[in-house]
Structure formats: C-alpha cells, structure tokens
Amino acid sequence: ADTLGSAAAEKGRYFGAAVAANRLGEAQYAATLNTEFNSVTPENEMKWDALEPSRGSFGFGNADRIVDHARSRGKSVRGHTLVWHSQLPGWVSGLGATDLRSAMNNHITQVMTHYRGAIHSWDVVNEAFQDGSSGARRSSPFQDKLGNGFIEEAFRTARAADPNAKLCYNDYNTDGVNAKSNAVYNLVRDFKSRGVPIDCVGFQSHFNSASPVPSDYRANLQRFADLGVDVQITELDIEGSGTTQATHYGNVVTACLAVSRCTGITVWGIPDKYSWRSSGTPLLFDDNYTKKPAYHAVLSALGGS
C-alpha cells in the first residue's frame, strides 16, 4: 500500500485527518485529503457554536459539506463534538439547570438525528476533566449546573439518537498513565459496570517537548481496551522536525497497531501551515504538501511503502 489510508486499511484500521470546510476548494488540499486519508473529522464545523449558534436554530451547511465530500469518496467520518465547554455559544452558558439540561439533550438529539447513519464515531463529551493531579472534573456550565451526572446523561441521550454510532469520550493529556487518565479510566469502568452506553475513548495526542509521547502510551491504550471499549487516536500532532519527529510519529503508529482495539488514528490537520498551533511544523505534510520524514515513518510503521 502506498497511501496512509490504504496501508491502515490493510491493518484493519482507518487513518484520518481533521478537515476545514473552507479549504476543500483548494486543489492541493483536496487532492492530498482524497488520496491519503480514509477518515475525516470536521475540525470546527460540528462544534456547538457552529451548529446551533442560537437556541433551536441549527445550521448544518459547513459540516454537511465535509460529510458529503468524505462520504461520496468512501471515507468514514468522526463527529466532533457534541458537549464541550469551549466553542460553546453564550446563550448556552447563560441557561439555568433545567433549561441547560433540555438544551444539551436537544442539541445531541438534533445533531445526531441529522447525521444518523453517516457518522462512524461521535465525541459525545470532550475534555470534561482537569489537568494536574486532582483527577477532578473541569468547571464548565454542564459540570457546574448539572453535576457529575451530565456525562452519563449525554451518553444515554446519544445512544437513543443514533443507536449505530460509536459513542466516545475524548480528552488530551490522557495519553499516558497519570491522574487525569486514571480519572477517565474510572469513569469508563463505572459506565461499563452499570451499563451506561460508551463504546470508545479518544486520546487526542497533541505532543510537544513539554508533553512528549509517553513511554507507557501503548500500556495506557491497552488498559482502556481491556475495559471493553475501542480506543482511537483522535487529534495527533507532534511538534518538531526531521528524524526526531519522524521517530515519534512512527512510535505512535506502532503503539496503536499493538493494541487490537485501537481502531484508527486521526492527525489534526494536513499541511503544517493549517495546524491550529500558531507556530511550528507538527503535521505530516509541509506547506507545499511535500511528504515529510514523519509521513514516511507513519507509512512504514503501517506496513506500507
């Protein structure tokens, strides 16, 4: 296999990229996406502020453009994300508990119903835990007004809205074994023991020198898989360049392939110039869409050439 997507497919995995609707008209961007990737995540277009900017008024245009582009070319789509404290419109934060609960459930239901059958996996709840050693929940309108039960409620609503979509919890700085990943682990274990629907855990995997690929990355993915959920690498990018960056990328792919329930990898952008990071070169393609050493390391780790 000589593309990321086809090599991953031979290993029973997908290899995806975060995509921006307003770049799809750029020939090189679309060509690279179409050739190399077999899964797509809208980078911003399925966030709450994009889909429901005012209460009950949904606009699916930009998100639909990405979904149509992907599905007409046989690519699967990850939905990102239904319940998150960021990119949340002001009207949501202003609601009292009763209205917030119904707004959350309505948002999940409307969005998942619109995309029923078209989305492989949904990030139902994103980034609900704090960084650091406390393992505590992060303050957010949902946490502060609805309490710990909001995550369970969101997943139950999501299951009812699209019973065939895989329902994921997604977070960052949970890639190795640490207090934050332990907190997510305990949540998933509790959900599995009580029959609360959850199918997958997303590990964002934004790496840099302050937060490198952890040495226990594979072991951490495996312990979640052992709870009976799929694991996915959902927003991969790695600061750096050259052979050092390439080695780190290769190690991430190798870790995923070593875990049978690691079902796929998504990189958080295509060329370096469109990364969410304000500087640096964290992706697989340079600004001219030339394949970087990191690209070749990923392809080789996937068994392609």
Size, binding site for ligand G3I by CB under 6 A: 8
Whole-angstrom distance, CA of residue 41 vs CA of residue 266: 8
For residue 125, the minimal CB distance to ligand G3I (Å) is: 12
Minimum Å gap between C-beta 2 and ligand G3I is: 28
Q: Interface with ligand G3I includes 241 (CB under 6 A)?
A: no
State how far Cα 186 lies from the chain centre: 20
- Select the residue whose beta carbon is closest to ligand G3I and give its number: 276
Kindly state the smallest distance separating residue 210's Cβ from ligand G3I, in Å: 15
| Signed CA dihedral, 249, 251, 254, 258: sign only | negative
Among 23, 26, 30, 44, binds ligand G3I (CB under 6 A): 44
* Residue closer to ligand G3I, measured from CB, 108 or 257: 108
Contact between 86 and ligand G3I (CB under 6 A)?
yes
- Site track for ligand G3I across 189-228, x = CB under 6 A: ---------------x------------------------
Pick between residue 3 and residue 204 the one whose CB is nearest to ligand G3I. 204
SS3 for 19-75 is: ECHHHCCCHHHHHHHHHHCCEEEECCCCCHHHHCCECCECCCHHHHHHHHHHHCCCC
- Specify the residue for token string 């990030």: 123
User: What minimum distance in Å lies between the beta carbon of 203 and ligand G3I?
Assistant: 11
- 43 forms part of the interface with ligand G3I (CB under 6 A): yes
The rounded distance, in Å, linking the Cα atoms of 79 and 125 is: 11
CA distance 58 to 161: 16
Nearer to ligand G3I, 43 or 239 (CB): 43
> The tokens 């119903």 sit on which residue?
113
Which of the residues 171 through 190 are near ligand G3I (CB under 6 A)?
Answer: 172
Q: Which position among 56, 61, 147, 276 is part of the footprint of ligand G3I (CB under 6 A)?
A: 276
230, containing H or E segment? strand 230-238
45 binds ligand G3I (CB under 6 A): no
> Rounded to the nearest whole angstrom, what is the least distance from the CB of residue 57 to ligand G3I in the complex?
17
> Cα–Cα distance between 177 and 171 in angstroms, integer?
13
Q: At what angle do helices 242-257 and 217-225 cross, to 10 degrees?
A: 20
Which residues bind to ligand G3I, rule: CB under 6 A?
43-44, 86-87, 172, 204, 235, 276
